[in-house]
Amino acid sequence: MAENNATQGARALAVIVLAAGQGTRMKSSLPKVLHRIGGRPLLGHVLDVARDLHPDSVLVVLRHERDRVAEAVTGIAPEIRVVDQDEIPGTGRAVQVALDALGDFDGDVLVLSGDVPLLDADTLDALLSAHRAAAAAATVLTAVVDDPSGYGRVIRAADSSVARIVEQKDATGDEASVTEINAGVYVFRAAPLREHLGLVGTANAQGERYLTDVIGLLRASRLAVAALTAPDAAAALGVNDRVQLAEAARLLNARTVRRWQLAGVTVQDPATTWIDVTATLAPDVTVLPNTHILRATAVSTGAVIGPDTSLVDCEVGEGATVTRSDATLAVIGAGATVGPFSYLRAGTQLAAGGKIGTFVETKNSTIGEGSKVPHLSYVGDTTIGRGVNLGAGAITANYDDLTKHRTHIGDEVHTGSHNVFVAPVRLGDGAKTGAGAVIRKDVPAGALALSVAPQRNIDGWVEKNRAGTAAADAVARARAAEKADDGAQ
């Protein structure tokens, strides 16, 4: 258990995460803070960084789609308290209801926004240190950006201290041209915050109670307001629409890729490689272009993934290769090979040294050590032993229109091309099947199963029935060549 803030001798710390807004600009039926980047909801990223600080308490303020968001919060961190904002709108009101829920709390209050997902714990630590060093009533995280559109602008006094924050909609032309923006992240002393939130009005373009007004009000009370400018402006990126959502996803991904590169993973093309924050890669993994490594995927050392590959919740063993393929909830053993162009669905388990080759779909199937399904096959609800080779075009007919049945294939079985295994069916160890067999009955160990009628050739059929066609001409040429051959002998 990590030390919490209080035991480090600092003032108590409460974190309030604002997530009650509707997120209108997303134009989505999904609440904004539940949109995902890096495989996790925006709010999940914010709650993670909040917990990294080991605060005494974390509160999330909800209103829009309250139950849906609350369920997500509980899923991420059950210890986090949910506070309900009432019908009075605005970030100021949101903080006020959370502060009420904290009772007579008298420490520092860190306010985070559920839609500012790229903040890192180092930046927040620096913000808290700056706040405590300045003995400030409030400390604002700011960032200098190329395009400040949509953000609140930080208005500095002549002595360069922060005078107030003005929202874009309320800004004069001069104010709007300021490129230092409010990240929507602040630390406040609880008591002055409580007192000044009571003074916030609604005389602004949106008729809301702005948290940002507290800054000007604290200054008017001659209380110290400090600011920290984020060294990396990306940390302050707010997500209000889908353009910013994609930008946040890109920046987060760049950060994740870089982290794995520095940990020993070769990523040939960071721009087209997407790695969720929940995935793990060992040193000396190679990731080729256009590859998605998602959710809880774990890749062991020496594996080569890509190009053009997507892994969702997969486990890839040491030295395995997965080329131009799609896999979900699959386990790929050490040294196994997959692809190009295969589709591994949930429950695929390919043992060490096994192969799922080209144009193969697998589902809910175990493929034993060193066993191969090399070409053009469907393997569903099947257990395959070790050392097996399924001929090209093997199809397990696992569905009889009512239920699914299993196919069992023993060790060292080799099957002919273009077989259908009509489940439920078993092939014993060492069994063999002929080309084109439709296996409807169990095959005992060591047996050769043939289900195709012997071939019958009707001589001269083409000359008789297809006279004058190109095929008949070809036959005539063949006959002439045969004759010439015979004459020469």
Site map 320..349 versus Ca ion, x via CB under 5 A: ------------------------------
Please name the residue that has the structure tokens 């003032």. Answer: 11
**What is the chain's length?**
489
Per CB under 5 A, does 167 bind Ca ion? Answer: no
Judged by CB under 5 A, which of 108, 115, 213, 369 binds Ca ion? 115
Q: Among residues 240 and 272, whose Cβ is nearest to Ca ion?
A: 240
Give the C-alpha separation, 255 to 315, whole Å: 23
Comparing CA positions, the residue from 432, 452, 458, 454 lying closest to residue 443 is 432
Give the C-alpha separation, 27 to 17, whole Å: 22
Residue 210 interacts with which of ligand UD1, Ca ion, none, CB < 5 to 8 Å by class? ligand UD1
Per CB under 6 A, does 333 bind ligand UD1? Answer: no
- HSE (side-chain half, CA atoms, 13 Å) at 131: 25
What is the nearest approach in angstroms of ligand UD1 to the Cβ of residue 385? 55
Q: Among residues 116 and 311, whose Cβ is nearest to Ca ion?
A: 116
Q: Among residues 168 and 240, whose Cβ is nearest to Ca ion?
A: 240
CA of 73: how far to CAs of 60, 79, 211, 220, in Å? Answer: 8, 9, 23, 37
* Number of residues counted as binding ligand UD1 (CB under 6 A): 28
Q: Among residues 212 and 433, whose Cβ is nearest to ligand UD1?
A: 212
The answer to whether 460 and 479 are in contact (CB under 8 A) is no
Judged by CB under 6 A, which of 16, 20, 50, 379 binds ligand UD1? 20
| Beta carbons within 10 angstroms of residue 34's beta carbon | 19
Q: Is the peptide bond before 89 cis (omega within 30 degrees of 0)?
A: no
Site map 236..275 versus Ca ion, x via CB under 5 A: --x-x-----------------------------------
Q: Among residues 17 and 360, whose Cβ is nearest to ligand UD1?
A: 17
Site map 161..190 versus ligand UD1, x via CB under 6 A: ----x-x-------------xxxx------
Does residue 375 carry a catalytic annotation?
yes
Q: Among residues 124 and 334, whose Cβ is nearest to ligand UD1?
A: 124
Catalytic-role residue among 375, 405, 408, 414: 375
What is the nearest approach in angstroms of Ca ion to the Cβ of residue 21? 7
Comparing CA positions, the residue from 144, 108, 149 lying closest to residue 128 is 108
* Residue 329 exposed, middle or buried by CB count within 10 Å (0-12, 13-18, 19+): buried
Give backbone dihedrals phi and psi of 311, rounded to 5 degrees, phi first: -120, 125
Q: Residue 161: which region, alpha, beta or left (left: phi > 0; alpha: psi -120 to 50)?
A: beta
The answer to whether 374 and 417 are in contact (CB under 8 A) is no
Site map 277..296 versus ligand UD1, x via CB under 6 A: --------------------
What is the nearest approach in angstroms of Ca ion to the Cβ of residue 236? 11
Buried b (16+ CB within 10 A) or exposed e, 15-31: bbbbbbbebeebeeeeb
The answer to whether 302 and 284 are in contact (CB under 8 A) is yes
The rounded radius of gyration (Å) of the Cα atoms in the chain is: 33
Amino acid identity at 160: S
Q: Among residues 195 and 241, whose Cβ is nearest to Ca ion?
A: 241
Residue 186 interacts with which of Ca ion, ligand UD1, none, CB < 5 to 8 Å by class? none
Per CB under 6 A, does 303 bind ligand UD1? Answer: no
- The region of 109-117, 215-223, 253-261, 417-425 touching Ca ion under the rule CB under 5 A is 109-117
Per CB under 6 A, does 210 bind ligand UD1? Answer: yes
Q: Which two tokens stand for residue 15?
A: 């974190």
- The region of 111-119, 210-218, 245-253, 437-445 touching Ca ion under the rule CB under 5 A is 111-119
Per CB under 6 A, does 46 bind ligand UD1? Answer: no
Per CB under 5 A, does 89 bind Ca ion? Answer: no
Give the C-alpha separation, 401 to 442, whole Å: 21
What is the nearest approach in angstroms of ligand UD1 to the Cβ of residue 59? 11
Residue 344 interacts with which of ligand UD1, Ca ion, none, CB < 5 to 8 Å by class? none
Residue 18 interacts with which of ligand UD1, Ca ion, none, CB < 5 to 8 Å by class? ligand UD1
Give the C-alpha separation, 381 to 362, whole Å: 8
Per CB under 6 A, does 116 bind ligand UD1? Answer: yes
Buried b (16+ CB within 10 A) or exposed e, 288-308: bebbbbbbebbbbebbbbbbb
What is the nearest approach in angstroms of ligand UD1 to the Cβ of residue 113? 4
Residue 165 interacts with which of ligand UD1, Ca ion, none, CB < 5 to 8 Å by class? ligand UD1
What is the nearest approach in angstroms of Ca ion to the Cβ of residue 140? 15
Per CB under 6 A, does 260 bind ligand UD1? Answer: no
The answer to whether 306 and 339 are in contact (CB under 8 A) is no
DSSP-derived 3-state class of residue 405: coil
> Which one-letter DSSP state was computed for residue 323?
-
Please name the residue that has the structure tokens 């960032």. Answer: 143
DSSP-derived 3-state class of residue 86: coil
**Residues belonging to the active site:** 375
Binding site for ligand UD1 (CB under 6 A): 18-21, 61, 85, 89-91, 93-94, 113-116, 151-152, 165, 167, 181-184, 210-212, 238, 240
Binding site for Ca ion (CB under 5 A): 115, 238, 240
